[in-house]
Amino acid sequence: MKSGWTNCITSSPEETFEKGKQFARFIETGDIFALSGQLASGKTTFIKGIANGLGYKGEVTSPTFTLINEYHSIPEIIHLDCYRETNLNRWINLGINEYFNTDSIVFIEWPEVIKALLPDRTITILLSHIEENKRKININI
């Protein structure tokens, strides 16, 4: 990803979405993002904003149950969620490694489960609660 992004605090889901849209400008093909943060910290909302900023106008919904959502845009966006499936072997069986070697932009929610499989170049985004509507968004490259 390109440099220049500064960490921020948002005060509503709408603002988290807007920040995601702005964040999209720093993304490069093949980037992999691991999004960590507690329940309701805004991970999906931030990704919705990013996808929108990347030009994808379709629906972005939580992949908690579907496990992997693929959004057809150029480049393709892969939206993973390891919240429900905590078995590393199942992720390997699903061919998760193949998503890491393409031009696709990959977002992983609850990435802790598959930490061992993530390439070194993975960028961590940490979302945290400050208060009911405030969220902190930090990027660690």
Partner 1 sequence: MIVLGIETSCDETSAAVVRDGMLLSNVTNTQVIHSQYGGVVPEIASRSHEENIQTIVESALSASKYSLMDIDAIAVTYGPGLFGTLLVGLNYAKGLSIGLDIPFIGVNHMEGHLFANLLDNPEFSYPFLCMLVSGGHTQIWEVQQYGSYHRIANTRDDAAGEAFDKGARIMGLRYPGGPEIEKNAMGGNPKAFPFTIPRVRGSELDFSFSGLKTAILYTCKKMTESEIQSNLNDLCASYQEVIVDTLIDRIHKAVEITGIRRFSVAGGVAANKRFREKVDKIVKPRSIEVSFPRMEYCTDNAAMIAIAGYERILNGETSSLNLKAIPNLSLDEVHSV
- Judged by CB under 8 A, which stretch of 19-27, 49-57, 68-76, 101-109 contacts partner 1? 68-76
Structure token pair of residue 78: 């892969």
Four-residue CA torsion sign, 89, 94, 99, 105: negative
Q: Does 89 bind partner 1 (CB under 8 A)?
A: yes
Binding to partner 1 (CB under 8 A) within 2-21 occurs at 13
Q: How far apart are CA 81 and CA 128, in angstroms?
A: 17
Q: Is 62 in the site for partner 1 (CB under 8 A)?
A: yes
Interface pick for partner 1 out of 3, 39, 116, 141 (rule CB under 8 A): 39
Interface pick for partner 1 out of 9, 29, 55, 65 (rule CB under 8 A):
65
Question: Using CB under 8 A, which of the segments 2-10, 36-44, 49-57, 105-113 binds partner 1?
Answer: 36-44
Buried b (16+ CB within 10 A) or exposed e, 89-102: eebeeeebeebbee
Binding mask of the shown chain, residues 122 to 141, with x at each position contacting partner 1 by CB under 8 A: ----------xx--------
